[in-house]
Structure 1
């Protein structure tokens, strides 16, 4: 058994060896030909723009690496200094300029070894490496925290929806506008298992008009980029309630729309939900951009009746409770859920009075706008953090990261010692080529 490090074993974000393979020698691939030791720096020669590089630590000493790596073995040089050099944007840019091959873009080992880097005194290299370790660890911590925020915002949005359709979001509003809540009378107050007074529990079939799904015409009856009737596909639906028809817009002619696709005509105000997933929960309200639209077979149309507004209906269809109900009854094939129209009609919906529906929608939109603002700030912060690593590396290679010490052995002396060691080192043997 041996540990094999191939290109896929390198985490390109963290620049570490992650999940190498354990193989039997008899099963070794032909590329498993390079022995690596602690302190070596491995650099992927394929697709250098992805910067798959890593510093070999004690854990992977004497492991076998793929011939797809160039293995750099520092002589009298701090390994972390070499590692920092091959992580720099200047190195990546230089390698990208030397790439050859369209299907399998790669650089040669010589291209990597010809890359010039500044050489400070060895003591200064160590000080810089320690400072880089400290700063880049902080950057990685920031990245991890930033990366966790989208999941928190997703949970926040679901919590807001859950509070909305349970009545918790407007509990205080009801005391001021309806006046039915009496804290001393638990019989009339809402509980976690019951709806507030004045609300009713309905199914989608009870309160919506005819619920139907779309149809997919033959390809020759569809056109992209222009046409008469816009044709909505699942990727035009979003998780925010808005319809995004800018993504690969597709159209059908009016004749096909009114004959072959007559059953799947939708109009402004209709609520659409994807019924094939995962993911389920893509819900959008048809805008008034066109007087009529059409939908494909993976989308169901809900037309709000008198008891429910389209905006409130769209909120209900995005809640975890409704989606869980749908998934529990859906047919699953190879990990894909398919909702029937019967399941759609049976979806349970809590229905408050019309005035409260309006207030719920207003509050949810306000909370979601707040989440959207946070998301935009997170995206901006992530971009700045991504640039921070390169800024720190650039500062290191300009000699600005740590103070210099005039007592350090000059780099010129170090360079002479390196040359002397290289001159006395045994030459690597090359296998004789077949005739």
Structure 2
């Protein structure tokens, strides 16, 4: 036919296989972890896709043959393809290929090819279909048996179906391997950044530089009422091997002050000044666009106690404790609520160095033990003021900041390349499938029996077959 490779022919899925919905699965029959048949639910299909390369072998629920008979449940044979038929899961377009025959609940639908059609070929074809497009509902998306039966497919000869399915098995396995490797890189980069921070705050990153440059010792700080005791600071310094020439002091000693924002909730307005809370502080940035707005009068009142300026360091005190960032020059004016505020004191500690320290595992080894609260942990203002800080000279802080930013920039570039590669790999699967189903993936063989002959044989066999009784299909 026009537009198709030689030997191919268009057909409808309903002409070369059967569609069946799952069965109602009452609560009293659920919960068994063993039995003759698994009962596949939408969650089981999703786990098969995300954890078992699309293969359906296990389920969270099983039933005996007797209960399957009682439920009048259809047994989906090996080679069937199962998928969600209703709800948001339909939009995920996940397809599970049945390895272990079983039932399905009534949120699942399945397709099984007729004899003479390659099941894997149909499974891969169904991966190309967006079932959400067939939904007729504007509220809860759902598909019907007839929607699937009416899907048109370009069908190659059976021998070519087999070659295509085998080639797809090979190529998509390689794609999955690539995906797994790419997906592992963000975790590696996270560990890399933590390793860089660990080297920075322990002095290892600038050990050689320190030996060659003989930096001026840091300015000595006088303890104040917010500081840890000298004994406590010494114990922390000894425990974490403070580098020679570095001081160990409390945050309240090295910053101009350590404060927090308002604890009250001002009235919110449609326009005004952003009120930043812990949830608006990401890792390395403050998001004022998502913050609620307060009046200029409330902002000025809050600022009397907690004025936020460029170069200050913010720290989320509750919820996701520990996100921190330096307030940048491009950040718009805002107030803070339940957010730690480390006021800049650049003659003693650089804002970026303080940010690195606050993100380090050394700092967290102390902070974790000093968080307050039971159900929801939080860092009190007193805890932030007492927080121990390793303090190198300003010259060394400058060198540390330069090196860390250089290494982080390298990680950022690699992360961007990974994201781009991931996008290309995600499109690669659909590109390979598209190539397969237009006849460009494997060579045609003129000796293959044409699909038209195969379709005629299936039509004859189905016409001669006795009509299936309503209810459960007899198990094999």
TM-score class, shorter-chain normalisation, is: 0.7 to 0.9
The 2-side partners of 1:24 and 1:124 are apart by: 38
Alpha-carbon contact 1:233-1:296 (below 8 Å) kept: yes
- Measured after TM superposition, the shift of residue 43 of structure 1 is 2.5
Deviation digits for residues 171-194 of structure 1, max 9, x if unmatched? 1212332289xxxxxxxxx99952
Identify if the C-alpha distance between structure 1 residues 205 and 339 changes in structure 2 by more than 3 Å, giving closer, same or farther. Answer: same
Take 1:176 and 1:396, find their aligned partners in 2: how far apart are those partners? 63
RCO higher in 1 or 2 (8 Å CA, sep ≥ 6)? 2
Normalised by the size of structure 2, how large is the TM-score?
0.79
Q: In terms of mean alpha carbon deviation, does 128-137 or 403-412 score higher?
A: 403-412
The answer for the alignment partner of 2:56 in structure 1 is: 17
Indicate if the aligned counterparts of 1:300 and 1:341 stay in contact, CA closer than 8 A.
yes
TM-score normalised by structure 1 residue count: 0.86
Work out which of the residue numbers 223, 229, 246 in structure 1 matches 2:269.
223
Deviation per CA, 1:66-119, whole angstroms, max 9, x where unpaired?
22222211112000111011101xx21xx3332122332111111011101111
Cα deviation digits, residues 108-152 of structure 1 (max 9, x gap): 111011101111111111111000000000001101111111100
Q: 1:27 to 1:164 in 2, by over 3 A?
A: farther
* Equivalence for 1:245: 288
Cα distance in 2 for partners of 1:103, 1:347 equals 53
Structure 1, 404-413 or 391-400: larger mean CA deviation: 404-413
Paired position in structure 1 for 2:91: 49
Q: CA deviation at 1:167?
A: 0.7
2:241 to 174, 179, 194: 194
Which of 369, 372, 378 in structure 2 is aligned with 1:328? 369
Structure 1 350/27 Cα, relative in aligned 2: closer, same or farther at 3 Å? farther
Q: Deviations over 1:192-225 (max 9, x none)?
A: 9522222111121221233222225446x2235x
Instruction: Return the alpha-carbon distance in structure 2 between the equivalents of residues 282 and 32 of structure 1.
Output: 55
> Aligned-pair distance for 1:242?
2.9
8 Å CA contact 1:4, 1:32 repeated in 2: no
CA RMSD after TM alignment: 2.7
Select which of 446, 452, 455 maps to 1:415: 455
1:24: Cα distance to partner? 5.7
SS class of match (2:440): coil
Aligned residue among 72, 78, 86 for 2:111: 72
Distance in 1 between residues matched to 2:139 and 2:58, nearest whole Å = 26
Superposed displacement of residue 261, structure 1: 6.2
From the superposition, tell whether residues 191 and 261 of structure 1 become closer, same or farther in structure 2 (CA, over 3 Å): closer
Q: Which runs of 5+ in 1 are unaligned?
A: 181-189
Aligned to 1:318: 359
| Cα distance change of structure 1 residues 85 and 24 upon mapping to structure 2, 3 Å threshold | closer
The equivalent residue for 1:185 is none
Q: Is the 8 A contact 1:215 1:261 kept in 2?
A: no
Structure 1 residue 213 corresponds to structure 2 residue 260: yes
Residues 290 and 113 (structure 1), Cα distance of their counterparts in 2 relative to 1, 3 Å cut: closer
2:386 to 333, 346, 350: 346
User: Is the Cα–Cα contact under 8 Å of residues 268 and 292 in structure 1 kept in the other structure?
Assistant: no
- C-alpha displacement at 1:158, in angstroms? 0.6
Deviation at 1:357? 0.5
- Report the CA distance shift for 1:320/1:27 in structure 2 as closer, same or farther (over 3 A): farther
Unaligned runs of 5+ in 2: 1-34, 217-236, 472-476
Residue aligning to 1:183: none
Deviations 1:356-381 (A, max 9, x none): 10111111111111111111111100
**Partners of 1:317 and 1:234 in 2: how far apart?**
15
Q: Which moved more, 1:41-50 or 1:30-39?
A: 30-39
Report the alpha carbon displacement of residue 387 of structure 1 after superposing the two structures with TM: 0.4
Q: Which one of the candidate residues 151, 155, 163 is aligned to 2:191?
A: 155
Residue in 2 that maps onto 1:233:
277
Change (3 A) 1:126 1:191: farther
Q: Structure 1 residues 171 and 31, CA, compared in 2 at 3 Å: closer, same or farther?
A: farther
Q: Secondary structure at the match of 1:384?
A: helix
1:104 aligns with 2:148: no
1:265 is matched with 307
Contact 1:34/1:67, CA 8 A, preserved across alignment? no
- CA shift, 1:269, in A, is 1.4
